[in-house]
Every structure is written in structure tokens, then in C-alpha cells.
Amino acid sequence: MPIHFSPPYVLIFAAMLAFGLGAAPAVLDKGISVLPNESSRRVDVLVDGKPFTSYIWPENLKVPTLYPLLTASGTPITRGFPLEPRLGERIDHPHHVGFWLNYGNVNGADFWNNSTFAPEKHPGQMGTVLHRKIMSAKSGDEQGELAVEMDWIMPGGEKILHEQTQFVFRGGEGVRSIDRISTLTTLDKPVNFKDDKEGMLGLRVRKELEQPTQESVTHIDANGKPTTQKSVDNTGVSGQYRSSEGKIGDAAWGTRARWMSLTGKVNEQPITLLMLDHPQNVGFPAYWHARSYGLFAANPLGQAAFSNGKENLNFSLQPKQSTTFRYRLIILDETATAEQMETQYKKFVSEVR
């Protein structure tokens, strides 16, 4: 895979606006602009005319994702690899791209680990989530909305799940947020989500927001080549997890919580990422894949994996049956307190049913 370094994200968005979107739909000077560009396989989202994120479904990804994600001040919080590798950045887990939803064991197929950026160890076991349709895209003064449809496809080509997802985008001074409300519906056969640690709502963050670690790491060096470093340089790495149940740092991994935060700094700018689970979700409160290397994920379905077999869910849906997952991600240009996070959680639960 060739390695290259990309220009700043703001320049990428500016180029898209100048050459890819044309006169319609219009970019709002104030408010949330949601701008479909199906020929480029993307929908761009701007707040007050400034880039926020894009819903993308390029042919080289095995699941649609939101990428990149930017703070209100314009700082990307997502890892660039494998789409746009950056100097010093980890190059593990190429299936971790942006902010996405899938699962590691669905009727025996692995939808989580599938990637075109790494050789498949078991290609006959990998599932794919395919974007099918933009149902609606709405810009607005207070929020923007995007509704899309996807299908979950087994290794042999059989469609087993239909997904309808609504994204709600909001922004203001020092804050950005995304609601993801995803309904999964079976077709003519039952679908079993066997307990598995690989899942479900995932976010892969940039190097500075990882937690400091002494583990060896393979990253991009100054020549743009993969390099393994046994003695890790944690300069600038500042992330720390905190759960609603008071778990801090590495102690938060594999524990249940109503919400999980990740705080850190990028170029001395404080940042808080807050992910909120919902009481109506299956498996609430979720277990959290709060990993030091930068994977920030909520897994409501992998209970046996996180409880050493003390709990078992093995959630299943019968033919023509549906379930809905509701989440909110909040990005703040500050170091939020536990009290502020709890207030945000209560607000989310009251607003989303």
C-alpha cells in the first residue's frame, strides 16, 4: 500500500466545496449544512460554513463511516490511517476508520475486521455493510439531518440485515455533536449476534488522544514508511478515559457504563469526547472498548467476552424483526467535568426516545 501525506483537512474540504458541490445545495453561513455528493460517494456536513464531518462510502471501505471528525476549532480528532496516514501515527487495525457501526459475529460472519487495506486471513468469513441509498438530507438553523439505508451482506453475497440510520448533526461555539439512531431489520431468516468483543459503535482517535502506553508500536516514520518502535515516545499523547461509574484510564476498559469520555489535548487545545449510551438500547449499559491505542467503542452485545463468561446475551432477531440502537457523540473544545457529562447524558435521554 503506498503511503502519502495529505494536506490539512480544511484544505481538503475547501477544495470539495469549490469544485465538487456546485451551487446547490447551498452552504449556510449560519447553521448546519448537509450536502450530498453521490458521485463522490459522500455527504459533507458543515457548521456555520466550517467543515465538521462527512458520511462516506468509498469502494475501498467495508462499512460506511463518518470521516474525518473535526472540533469546533477545526482540529481533526480521528486517526488518518489508512485513508490519509500521518507522521508518527499507528498503522494497526486498518478496519478502524472514523466513526462507524458494525459487529464481529453476525450469523458467524465477521463484519468488524473486514478491510481492503490488509490481507484477509479468513476471506470466506468476512461480512460487508453496503451503503444503498440517501433517503433524505436536510440542512437547518439548529441541526442538520441525514437518513441513509444500508445492507449487511454475508461472505457469499446473501443479505441478512437491512439498516436504516438517521444522523442528527448539531454545533455551536466550542461544541459539535452527532446522534446516530440505527434500526436493524432482519429479512426472511433469523440473525444471531453471538457474544463477541469486536463491536459495535466505534471511533478511532488520533495519536494525541491515545492514552500513554509502554507497548511497542508500528507507525509512519519521517520517510513515510512503517516503522516498529519498541521504546514508545509518548510525547504529546495525553488521553484519559473516564466512565459514568467512576472508572479512570485503563480501568475503564471492559466495564459497563452509561457514558464514557476521553479527554486530552492536541497542540495544547483541550478536547473532550463524550459517547452516550441509551437506556432503550439492547444490552444497556454497554461494555466499553476504551483502549489505550485509540479505539473508543461501545459494545452492548459482547457480554460473555467482557465478563469472563459470567454473563451471556447472544442477542438474536427473528425474521422480519427489528431493533434500534441510539447513541450520541459530543465533541467539546474543553476538558469537561464528570458533572457536565452527567448533565449531557440526562439531556440526551430526555431528547431521544
Would you say residue 109 lies in a domain?
yes
For 263-312, what is each residue's pLDDT tens digit?
999 999 999 999 999 999 999 999 999 999 999 999 999 999 999 999 99
Nearest to 186 by CA among 314, 282, 323, 321: 321
| pLDDT value at residue 234 | 79
Q: Could you tell me the pLDDT band of residue 168, with boundaries at 50, 70 and 90?
A: very high
Would you say residue 303 lies in a domain?
yes
Residue 241 phi/psi, 5-degree rounding, is -85, 150
Would you say residue 1 lies in a domain?
no
DSSP 322-345: EEEEEEEEEEESS---HHHHHHHH
Would you say residue 264 lies in a domain?
yes
Name the least confident of 13-27, 196-210, 217-231: 13-27
Task: Compute the distance between CA of residue 32 and CA of residue 137 in angstroms, rounded to an integer.
Answer: 11
Q: Could you tell me the pLDDT band of residue 236, with boundaries at 50, 70 and 90?
A: confident
Check if the beta carbon of residue 145 is closer than 8 Å to that of residue 122.
no
User: pTM for this one?
Assistant: 0.91
Would you say residue 2 lies in a domain?
no
Would you say residue 212 lies in a domain?
yes
| pLDDT value at residue 294 | 94
For 87-112, what is each residue's pLDDT tens digit?
889 999 999 999 999 999 999 999 99
Structural domain range at position 303 = 9-351
Provide the CATH number for the domain around residue 111.
Answer: 2.70.98
Q: Which residue has the cell 471501505?
A: 61
Task: Provide the mean pLDDT of the chain.
Answer: 91
Specify the number of domains making up the chain: 1
Burial environment of residue 48 by CB neighbours within 10 A (0 to 12, 13 to 18, 19 or more):
middle
Would you say residue 343 lies in a domain?
yes
